[in-house]
Structure 1
Amino acid sequence: MFRTSRKTAIVATVAAAALALTACAGGAQSVDPSNVNPEGEIVPREISWLLSRPADGGVITAMQQIAEEYAAEHPGFALNLITTPDRPSYIQKYETLAAANQLPELFDTDATPFAQKLAGQGRMLDIDALLEDLGLADDYRETALNYQRFDDGTLRMVPFEFQLEFFWYNQALLDQAGVQLPATLDDFPKVCEGLRAAGITPIALNGQDQWPLERYMAYYPFRMVGPEYIQDLKNGDANFSDPAGRAAAEWLSSLGQAGCFQEGFSSTGYADAQALFTSGKAAIYNTGTWELGNLATESLDSGVRDNVDYFTLPTIDGAVTADNEYVTPSGIGMAVNTKTYDPLVRDFLAFALERYPTLYAATGAISPTVSAETVIPGGATPLYEQAVSQADDTGGAIAMPWDTQLDPATNTRLQQELTLLVQGDITPDQFVETMDAAISENRVE
């Protein structure tokens, strides 16, 4: 009953936002999205950025410093950060402001169907054109930009991050169980069974936040048919009942049957899942380079630290994507509101995007550009630098996180059904049938 009520509420919110968005589109007074260098004087004022990022994270820290430096040269300027770290709350605020045509100068968004509607109405600046005009286009990693693109190839968001997602593993635990690393996705159940037989938790999973399990749903279709599957799925040109979707459901079910995840995974939070791995209780942990400071550090217990390594997303027989193509996100992007775009906003962005990569890379993070070298922090193990260097060897296809692609109602239902599937509460057939009905019901034209 709870799931049905929650879904209905979300669908109603999304439908209302979509209707309001359509209604207000005709009244929005936007500039030409390709007019990235408007004429006029630079008049300092406060501008705002609606964002959903950790308040103490590298992105906000760097941009706050940049804003202070810019303000010192332009008295009267200020950057107002409207922060909502909780992503569901942020999305609701963002879509409500968009529907009322009240978005600020800058705002965070993924390349969702909702955002594409905004772009189609000319309400988001052409970032390809902006970067070319600023002479920065060649500085950005192609994969970082491509992650932000809509399905039609247009770019309306600036990336501020670049991450690589790996499977971290503890070699000592694998040796103890007498199992090898999975060479293919289909090897995972056998590896899990061997670890379970040795009394070892195979894979640590943050099931509470739900998106980590959703990553697993994306893996098989990406290897089987490529990134086009999720694009076609959200656009109504593919179904969960198609071979790729069914194969993914069957693979997830097999992971559950093999006991791949810890007992009670659905209620395990982020910190506890990480602790399972870093304490040497779990053999494998799927996460991104944002955790390098926790996984490639001398502060780890030596019994774990000396046995930690990583592997990238395994392939399958007949895979259409390359070994060096996997989940390489550049995070939520920043869009520029054409309605409020003026010489000041352009000048600030020119200053910020030039200065940002060096400041961000100094925190030990991988810059979305190739123009700044990551500063390896003190106390890092050699694995830190190894992981960072891998950013220069990624292919062009990206296994997109599905939670950034699907409409909110379908995404919520998918996360719920995935947990039931892995727990064995529903069958792959039931999962496919439910999800095909959900995506058909919730699609907003």
Structure 2
Amino acid sequence: MSLTKRTTAFMAFIAASALTLSGCGGGASSADPADSNPEGEVVAREISWLLSRPADGGVITAMEQIADDYAKDHPGFALNLITTPDRPSYIQKYETLAAANKLPELFDTDATPFAQKLAEQGRMMDVEVLLEDLGLADSYRDAALNYQRFDDGSLYMVPFEFQLEFFWYNSALLQSAGVEVPKTLDDFPAMCKALREQGVTPIALDGQDQWPLERYMAYYPFRMAGPEYIQDLKNGEASFSDPAGKAAAEWLYELGQAGCFQEGFSSTGYADAQALFTSGKAAVYNIGTWELSNLATEALDPAVRDSVATFTLPTIEGAVTADNEYVTPSGIGMAVNAQTYDPLVRDFLAFALEQYPEIYAATGALSPTTTAQTTIPADATDLYASSIQQADEVGEAIAMPWDTQLDPATNTRLQQELTLLVQGDTTPDEFVATMDAALQENTDD
């Protein structure tokens, strides 16, 4: 084992040990995570929110406005936003503070095994109970809440977003190549070959950030085995060598052999990948509705604007999930620290969660609730409204992004091996063997 790997493993062990100890005593609060309405006066003070969101994004902008409005009637109140947009750095900070029992009143987290351990230790408020107590539970989209749930169905995070992930495509380029929108995932290689013959990049991919390629790894297993596969995989109860995992590896290898992604995709960043599509050089681009302002408004190049359309995740023969079930994330959730929860935190959350949907939807984004209607920009194309409408038509099962599910070590190795697999530097069998070994090592740890 390398020095770097030994150091990483040691630090992970220390963090895990500290987390275990901090849940057993030393300053841990005896607050009841289900006691959402504690007795006492609302005494204004500064509260903090540890978050991993763009500083100029809609969520933070809306919450800053709400906090300012709340402070007008509660002198002395302030919401301190501790922002770390870079996700790996954020996770390190979040887990370190959790291990030291120093998390602030509010903090961002995905529904990871680490977060579930915090919940099991009584360190996070039960959001299901909180929303019911505030009379807001029925206003949230089922899919938005379900994305935040742990595998056992419990809910400890509040969603602030709702997104749909589509395959955006240039209908003119597909037509010129004589291909139709793929009906199944197995239609992708043939589509890619036909587009390549026309000198067109089939699929634009941000390979530099790695998570977009990891989305493709999730697709075949979701259709073949449902959302349970990734749940079992992260818990060490399934393997990459299972039929769903092998099928995914073989499909991704085929995509690579068919030249589906641009040359040098592994070093292409987010903006450059999007530019390939918006300039008409690539035929397909897999991204979410957070890009509506760039892909469904007059900001889009007029040369391609009328040709842009979308399709959702194709199916496979014998699929166990429905056509209207695909990647519908509600982003990283906000947890409420049970150890610092008091009448002020409850009162602020009651105010904020009531005001938030309308303010957020006014920015042109999809609210996690059904109570706020998204404001369609004046320069929007028809695709903007039709994309928003699909939010009311999604199914129950969600294709969870694997980077929010797997432990950091396995996830990092998976992202590295996926690039090698698509580039043809490793075979599906080699990929599966490597990932099963990594999964076993990290699950054992």
Global fold match (TM > 0.5):
yes
- Asked if residue 229 in structure 1 is aligned to residue 226 in structure 2, the reply is no
- Asked if residue 336 in structure 1 is aligned to residue 336 in structure 2, the reply is yes
Distance of 1:415 and 1:349 partners within structure 2: 37
Match of residue 437 from structure 1: 437
Normalised by the length of structure 2, the TM-score is 0.98
Match of residue 258 from structure 1: 258
Residues 1:199 and 1:296: Cα distance change in structure 2 (over 3 Å): same
- Asked if residue 301 in structure 1 is aligned to residue 301 in structure 2, the reply is yes
Q: Is contact 1:218–1:402 with CA below 8 Å preserved after alignment? A: yes
Q: Secondary structure at the match of 1:283?
A: strand
- Asked if residue 88 in structure 1 is aligned to residue 88 in structure 2, the reply is yes
Distance of 1:8 and 1:427 partners within structure 2: 28
Match of residue 24 from structure 1: 22
Q: Structure 1: which 5+ residue stretches go unaligned?
A: none
Q: Deviation digits for residues 127-186 of structure 1, max 9, x if unmatched?
A: 000000000000000000000000010000000000000000001111111111111000
Distance of 1:399 and 1:58 partners within structure 2: 24
Across the aligned residues of Structure 1 and Structure 2, the Cα RMSD in angstroms comes to 1.1
Match of residue 135 from structure 1: 135
Match of residue 428 from structure 2: 428
Residues 1:408 and 1:151: Cα distance change in structure 2 (over 3 Å): same
Q: Structure 2: which 5+ residue stretches go unaligned?
A: none
Match of residue 272 from structure 1: 272
Q: Is contact 1:7–1:413 with CA below 8 Å preserved after alignment? A: no
Distance of 1:108 and 1:444 partners within structure 2: 27
Q: Deviation digits for residues 380-414 of structure 1, max 9, x if unmatched?
A: 10100000010000000000000000000000000
Q: Secondary structure at the match of 1:20?
A: helix
Match of residue 15 from structure 1: 13
Normalised by the length of structure 1, the TM-score is 0.98
Distance of 2:5 and 2:388 partners within structure 1: 40
The within-5 A match list for 1:116-127 is 116-127=116-127
Match of residue 318 from structure 2: 318
Task: In structure 1, give the amino acid aligned to 2:72.
Answer: A
Distance of 2:239 and 2:85 partners within structure 1: 32
Task: In structure 1, give the amino acid aligned to 2:419.
Answer: T
Displacement of 1:16 in angstroms is: 2.1
Task: In structure 2, give the amino acid aligned to 1:374.
Answer: T
Task: In structure 1, give the amino acid aligned to 2:194.
Answer: G
Residues 1:7 and 1:161: Cα distance change in structure 2 (over 3 Å): farther
Distance of 2:261 and 2:331 partners within structure 1: 26
Match of residue 241 from structure 1: 241
Displacement of 1:5 in angstroms is: 5.9
Task: In structure 1, give the amino acid aligned to 2:31.
Answer: V
Task: In structure 2, give the amino acid aligned to 1:271.
Answer: A
Match of residue 202 from structure 2: 202
Q: Is contact 1:217–1:249 with CA below 8 Å preserved after alignment? A: yes
Once the two structures are aligned, what percentage of the paired residues are identical? 78
Q: Secondary structure at the match of 1:340?
A: coil
Q: Is contact 2:22–2:100 with CA below 8 Å preserved after alignment? A: yes
Task: In structure 2, give the amino acid aligned to 1:171.
Answer: S
Task: In structure 2, give the amino acid aligned to 1:12.
Answer: F
Match of residue 49 from structure 1: 49
Q: Deviation digits for residues 182-202 of structure 1, max 9, x if unmatched?
A: 110000000000000111000
Q: Secondary structure at the match of 2:303?
A: helix
Q: Deviation digits for residues 83-109 of structure 1, max 9, x if unmatched?
A: 001000000000000000000000000
Displacement of 1:6 in angstroms is: 5.4
Distance of 1:50 and 1:174 partners within structure 2: 45
The within-5 A match list for 1:160-199 is 160-199=160-199
Displacement of 1:19 in angstroms is: 1.2
Distance of 2:5 and 2:217 partners within structure 1: 20
Q: Is contact 1:10–1:408 with CA below 8 Å preserved after alignment? A: no
Q: Deviation digits for residues 183-242 of structure 1, max 9, x if unmatched?
A: 100000000000001110000000000000000000000000100000000111100000
Match of residue 351 from structure 2: 351
